[in-house]
Amino acid sequence: MPEAVTITETPPTTVDLAEEYKASGVAEILEELDRELVGLKPVKRRIRETAALLLVERARRAMGLSHEPPSLHMSFTGNPGTGKTTVALRMANLLHRLGYIRKGHLVSVTRDDLVGQYIGHTAPKTKDVLKKAMGGVLFIDEAYYLYRPDNERDYGQEAIEILLQVMENQRDDLVVILAGYADRMDRFFESNPGFRSRIAHHIDFPDYDDGELLLIAESMLERQGYHLDQEAKKVMADYIALRRAQPHFANARSIRNALDRARLRQANRLFEEAEGPVDAEQLSTITARDIAVSRVFRFAAKGRQEENP
C-alpha cells in the first residue's frame, strides 16, 4: 500500500499590501469613520497607523516570517463626547476584519458592571462581563473609578486583578480598551503599573473646535431629517461659543442635547402658531427662535450685566 503523501503549502514570497488593504475591508471601515466623525485628525491617523501595523503583521505571518502577536490593549483619553465609544466600535470591527479577534463585538461597561457591593460579589460579576466580551472588545469607560485607595472596603482592586490576569493570559481572544479623562487616567496608570505595562496604544481624543461642533450639529439634524435655516446657523454658532465656556460641556454630547431641546421648542411652536396645514419644510426646519430662547443665552447676558453693573 503506497505511503500517504503530505502536501505542505509553500508560503508566498511576496504580498501586495495595497490589495490586502482593499480585500480586508479596512478601507471601508476607515471611510465610515471619516463620514461619521467630524475632525479628530490625530485619532484617525493613529487608527490608520494601527491598521497598517496589523496588516504588515498579518503579511509576515502569511509569509512564515518570525513574528510576535502585537499587544492590542488600548487607552482612549479625552473629554466626554469626543467619539471614544464610536471609535471603539470601529476598532472592534477592524480587528475582526483583520482576524485578530473572533467576533468583533463591543461590550461597553463601567465600574458598576464589574465591582460588587459585598464580599464574593465582584469576581462573578467581572468574570460574567469577561465571558460576554471574549472574542471581541471590552470597553471600560471611566476606568479610574475601579481604583479607590481611600476606601479600604472597596472591591475594585479584585476586579483589577482579574482583568490584568485575563489581559495577559487571553490577549489573543480579548482586547481591552480603557477610557476616561486624561489626567485621571494618568494617575490610574501610576497607581496600577500592571495596566500601563499591558497597554501599547494610547490615543488622545482632542476637543472639537467651534466650526467642527457646528458641522456635527448639522450632521446630527440631517440624520434625523431636519435642518437649520440660515439665521438658525448663525444663532447655533453663537450658542456653541457660549456653551463651550460654561461648566459641564461635553462636546458632541452637549450639542445633541441642545438639538433635542430645539426640536422640542420647534414642535411646540408649530402647535401654537399653525393656523392651518403645515408642509414638510416647516416640519423639518429648526429656526433661530428655536435656539435663541435657550438659557445659555440668558446666563451669558446675566453674566455681562453682573460684570457691568
All domains in the chain, ordered by first residue: 17-205 (3.40.50.300), 210-307 (1.10.8.60)
d(CA 218, CA 224): 10
pLDDT of 148: 83
* 225 pLDDT more than 80: yes
pLDDT, one tens digit per residue, over 123-143 is 999 999 999 999 999 999 999
Q: Return phi, psi of residue 35, to 5°.
A: -70, -40
Continuous H helices in the chain: 17-24, 26-36, 41-62, 84-97, 111-114, 122-133, 156-169, 182-191, 193-198, 210-223, 230-244, 252-273, 280-284, 288-292, 295-307
Return contacts of 57-61, CB within 8 angstroms, 24+ apart.
58/20, 58/98, 58/99, 59/15, 59/17, 59/20
Asked if 11 contacts 62 with a C-beta cutoff of 8 angstroms, the reply is: yes
CA-wise closest residue to 192 among 124, 260, 134, 146: 146
pLDDT of 251: 94
| Res. 64 pLDDT band, cuts 50 70 90 | confident
Question: Pick the residue with more confidence: 11 or 164?
Answer: 164
Q: Which residues contact 214 (CB under 8 A, 6 or more apart)?
A: 233, 236, 237, 240
What average pLDDT does the segment 155-176 reach? 91
Across the chain, what does the average pLDDT equal?
Answer: 88
C-alpha cell of 270? 408649530
pLDDT, one tens digit per residue, over 239-266 is 999 999 888 899 999 999 999 999 999 9
Least confidently predicted of 48-52, 80-84, 271-275: 271-275
Please give, one letter per residue, the 3-state secondary structure of 57-78: HHHHHHCCCCCCCCCCCEEEEE
* 1 pLDDT more than 70: no
What average pLDDT does the segment 194-214 reach? 93
Q: Per mean pLDDT, which of 14-18, 57-61, 173-177 is the most reliable? A: 173-177
* 307 pLDDT more than 50: no
pLDDT, one tens digit per residue, over 21-63 is 778 888 888 888 888 889 999 999 999 888 888 888 888 887 8
Q: What is the identity of the amino acid at 195?
A: F
| Res. 302 pLDDT band, cuts 50 70 90 | low
* 157 pLDDT more than 70: yes
Asked if 159 contacts 114 with a C-beta cutoff of 8 angstroms, the reply is: yes
